[in-house]
Amino acid sequence: MGFGSSFGRYRIAHSKFSLVFSQRSRQDKEKFNAQQVEITFLGTSSGVPTRSRNVSSVAFRLPQQAEVWLFDCGEGTQHQLLRSDLKPSQIRRIFITHLHGDHIFGLMGLIASCGLAGTGQTIDLYGPGGLKDYIDACSRYSYMDIARRITVHRISTGIVYEDDQFCVSCAKLTHRVPAYGYRIVEKDRPGRFQLEQAQALGIPPGPIYGQLKQGKTVTLDDGRTIRGTELCGKPEVGRKWSYCTDTVFCDAAVELAQSVDVLIHEATFAHQDAQMAFDRLHSTSTMAAQVAQLAQVQTLLMTHFSPRYAPGNAIQLEDLLAEAQAIFPNTKLAHDFFTYALERHR
């Protein structure tokens, strides 16, 4: 048997193995991801893109709602989405921090593509004053009819969105233009439903179990009043995360990040370039770490890095990471397509 035929059989066998392996991996991943929020960085550069980093955008995948929420949408975000495991058709909300181009220039292209793809669902946009004017002007001069596809919400300090699972609030940061940071809080869940105890009480199965699982009080046909809270274990505390960019160190960022599981904070400059940070109202790596320390967060994810720290330069991003970890050890350096899993508090 020649080498060519042996190699051909190897390629066929390898392809079959890869197919089975990828199918199993995908199934395992979907099962594993069913209960976790996935944070995916689509752009981690500040100002301009580089060969390895696009400009700002972070996606939060919420499996329980089959939705993706974007925070900022810099130029090229839709290309980054196509290279990721995220589905653009699941984008339901986009939260904008401020109106600098590296945070909004990707909006119109993404909205147009979602419309051409016929996703059918409305996208809610949240951002500071001026966002609606920007969207309207772009739509008018590019002849895009997107009025039925998007709803723009002007934000101010306080709650900007709330449903039965999440509450999103914002606060004004300190930057050259109006900029807002966001805090996302998942509402607490009732504890595990004690099925055996419910059966022992003679509670008939059916929709009533669903009400009891939610901690509600129900009245049975025999007149007994049953409190769902007494049939559930200890409530499961919801997850919390915050997103703070662009800003120099400020008290508002500390308040937004108070006791969160994950803080995403800009770290545009190295500590030795602090004067530039103060002049341009951006943060250094050490400022981000100080916010994390003061707010008592669990994990700090740094992003929005100046292109000046590219490989080959005197200061590199690993130096920024070392600076931050000296103050707050549980700090990670985000890169494009870096995904962080936010597990439930079981």
Distance CA(270)–CA(251), nearest Å, equals 20
Q: What is the CATH number for 322? A: 3.60.15.10
Catalytic option among 102, 246, 261, 336: 102
Average pLDDT score, the chain: 89
What is the average per-residue pLDDT within 90-96? 96
Number of alpha carbons in the 13 Å side-chain half-sphere of residue 203: 27
Model confidence over 161-213: pLDDT tens digits? 999 999 999 999 999 999 999 999 999 987 788 888 888 898 888 888 888 88
Which two three-digit tokens encode residue 45? 């550069």
78 and 219 both lie in a single domain: no
Structural domain count, the chain: 2
184 and 209 both lie in a single domain: no
Which residues share a beta bridge with 135? Answer: none
pLDDT at 117: 59
**What is the 8-class DSSP label of residue 231?**
G
169 and 206 both lie in a single domain: no
68 and 139 both lie in a single domain: yes
Provide the 3-class DSSP secondary structure of residue 149.
coil
Which two three-digit tokens encode residue 29? 């991943």
Q: Which of 177, 210, 231 is the last residue of a domain?
A: 231
Distance CA(25)–CA(3), nearest Å, equals 32
Whether 27 is in a domain gets the answer no
User: Which region among 4-13, 65-74, 77-86, 294-303 has the lowest average model confidence (pLDDT)?
Assistant: 4-13
> Taking a C-beta distance cutoff of 8 angstroms, is the pair 196, 176 a contact?
no
219 and 91 both lie in a single domain: no
pLDDT at 79: 97
Distance CA(285)–CA(300), nearest Å, equals 11
> Taking a C-beta distance cutoff of 8 angstroms, is the pair 87, 68 a contact?
yes
279 and 250 both lie in a single domain: yes
Whether 126 is in a domain gets the answer yes
Whether 260 is in a domain gets the answer yes
221 pLDDT higher than 80:
yes
Omega before 124 cis (within 30°)? no
Torsion of CA 269, 270, 272, 278, to 10 degrees: 30
15 pLDDT higher than 70:
no
Model confidence over 229-252: pLDDT tens digits? 888 888 889 999 999 999 999 999
Confidence band (pLDDT; 50, 70, 90) for 65? confident
Catalytic (active site) residue 28: no
pLDDT at 13: 43
Which residues share a beta bridge with 167? Answer: 162, 185
252 and 168 both lie in a single domain: yes
Q: Pairing between strand 180-186 and 225-227?
A: unpaired
Whether 49 is in a domain gets the answer yes
Whether 22 is in a domain gets the answer no
83 pLDDT higher than 90:
yes
170 and 217 both lie in a single domain: no
pLDDT at 118: 60
28 pLDDT higher than 90:
no
Whether 14 is in a domain gets the answer no
223 and 271 both lie in a single domain: no
Which stretches within the chain are classed as H helix? Answer: 3-33, 77-83, 101-104, 107-116, 131-141, 195-200, 207-213, 251-256, 274-280, 285-295, 317-325
Whether 11 is in a domain gets the answer no
Whether 24 is in a domain gets the answer no
Distance CA(6)–CA(73), nearest Å, equals 50
Q: Which of 177, 208, 231 is the last residue of a domain?
A: 231
Residue 220: which domain range?
195-231
199 and 322 both lie in a single domain: no
Residue 138 has phi, psi (to 5 degrees) of -60, -40
Distance CA(44)–CA(20), nearest Å, equals 34
Helix orientation angle between 285-295 and 317-325, rounded to the nearest 10 degrees: 30
What is the average per-residue pLDDT within 53-81? 95
Distance CA(262)–CA(243), nearest Å, equals 9
145 and 199 both lie in a single domain: no
31 pLDDT higher than 50:
no
225 and 109 both lie in a single domain: no
328 pLDDT higher than 90:
yes
What is the average per-residue pLDDT within 258-276? 98
pLDDT at 121: 79
